[in-house]
Amino acid sequence: MKTAGWRSAWIYGCVLALCQPLAACGDAAAPAAKQATKAQASAVPADAPLVIAFGDSLYAGYRLGPKEGLAPQLQAALAADGVAARVQNAGVSGDTTAAGRQRLAFVLDHAASKPALVLLGLGGNDMLRGIDAAETRANLDAMLAELKRRDIPVLLTGMVAAPNLGADYAKAFDPIYSELATQYGASLYPFILDNVVTDPSLMLDDHIHPNAKGVGVIVQGLAPLVEEALPEGE
């Protein structure tokens, strides 16, 4: 995972986020979803495997149009690869791991069907708020344990500590995702903003959230992992 280059680029955005109410984790050049035809999107059958994208504003599609967020772009990318799946947007802007832990069971209990896969992407708001990394780990651990109990495969998307939080915080925070992915046998995308946060053309003017084109880059990295993580026969 490449982290050195993004850190200086993100300092300004993180400082702004810590000084303002967090919308937490769009404008937009043509997203990857537009590369898939409308016919491909509408061809996803109602009984196709369900993928739930459970995260914060990086999942929710902050300041993006209805077809520009992570869920719709990922569904379109999968369809373009011949993989029929319904990707449900369960992202909530501002969610911390504690908030996600509180609502996870509700989302799973009220899903249209048992998910074939859950994308889990929380922790960015914990980091921006300087929440104790041990608390972040405990909350993610609990969510992964719940998903394991329900026999639902997981693709965990990671985050990296911003430099203004210091080396000690980074040392505690950064390993959380890889260590929990190993512990629970989850698939891992180590840093959700990899190859995005260092390119201003892929980011919103808040320097924290990707625009639609940036989401497309994220989806290019995620889609193959989603396809690999979907259970055989799904």
| Catalytically annotated residues | 57, 206, 209
2: which 2 tokens? 């490449």
CA torsion sign for 96, 72, 118, 110 is positive
Total residue length of the chain: 234
Are 188 and 181 spatial neighbours (Cβ–Cβ below 8 Å)? Answer: yes
Cα 133 to Cα 106: distance, rounded to the nearest angstrom? 25
Are 50 and 88 spatial neighbours (Cβ–Cβ below 8 Å)? Answer: yes
Nearest-10 crossing angle of helices 212-229, 70-80 = 60
Neighbours of 167 (CB within 10 A): 9
